[in-house]
Structure 1
């Protein structure tokens, strides 16, 4: 049970969805940010951007966000959950592009501290073809998910434990986005 009364059935509104129902006036800009960062037209696919969110959420040990965004990424990546699990287990050996690997390293640095992002990490990503927009958005996705993770866990929200519980959420996000 959440630390505050969210005035919803937490089984129906797990994780971040409960607090968003509780405070729709804060949910609107948070969802708008997620929509722009994870779904708007971009040189990185929605699946790749969801993978960054899942990776950072895993580093933050936020079970709800890691599980949900892993499902969202898997639903939008050809290699599915197998790839997501490989990335989360070991970015260095995962079968991803060198550019995505470099961007995930930057995301991991942001998760530790914004100051952990170095000129060398940025140059490594640029040498693999990362654009300034991709660098910007990777840093912002990682920073935003540190906030989202702390929002979810800081309120002690309900977290489904079975990966299959996240599949309906993934279908909804892929079909309708974060504004619903």
Structure 2
């Protein structure tokens, strides 16, 4: 049960977007740029970073929704996503993505936890300056998104299939499509 009256039964950030569309637009635009904009990291890889950080933050809605989004865009599907969430070191991903997940996990613990060694290790396996930048920003943004969603006690479906329709919409239309055009409810 959400901590405030959202006047919507939509789960997670979707209910919050409906409650406050004027704040939803810049948040959705940020997600659009970070997760779907031009990048040498695939959309699936960027969604996987968001999923991993959300899992570390124990945000059920964001972890499960972005897991579905990543699975829909990665050849390994949900099996790969689950492997990364449980054991990134043993998951069949590139050394570069593995190193970027180390950077993302450090950001999740707090900015000062990102070390020169972490960044150098990512560079050593081919991560570009832009990929390192975007990984840090995705991780930081998802710490904020996770705290927003969980801080207001939003609903998070337990059944993973509930996230499939959301994944289809995000993959096909992007994050900007989920922002309501209605007036704020509060």
Q: What is the correspondence of 1:30-179 to structure 2 with a 5 Å cutoff?
A: 30-179=27-176
Task: Kindly indicate whether structure 1 or structure 2 has the higher relative contact order, using CA contacts under 8 Å at least 6 residues apart.
Answer: 2
Q: Provide, for residues 89-138 of structure 1, a one-character-per-residue CA deviation record: whole Å limited to 9, x for no partner.
A: 11111100000000000000000011000000000000001001000000
Moved over 2 A (4+): none
Q: 1:2 matched to which residue of 2?
A: 2
What is the alpha-carbon distance in structure 1 between the residues aligned to residue 70 and residue 23 of structure 2? 25
The reply on whether 1:18 has 2:18 as its aligned counterpart is: no
- Taking structure 2 as the reference length, the TM-score comes to 0.94
Aligned-CA RMSD value = 0.5
- Taking structure 1 as the reference length, the TM-score comes to 0.98
Count of equivalent residues: 177
1:60 deviates by 0.1
Q: Provide, for residues 52-105 of structure 1, a one-character-per-residue CA deviation record: whole Å limited to 9, x for no partner.
A: 000000000000000000000000001100000000011111100000000000
SS in 1 for 2:72: helix
User: Gaps (5+ residues) in structure 1?
Assistant: none
What is the alpha-carbon distance in structure 1 between the residues aligned to residue 65 and residue 31 of structure 2? 13
User: Gaps (5+ residues) in structure 2?
Assistant: 178-186
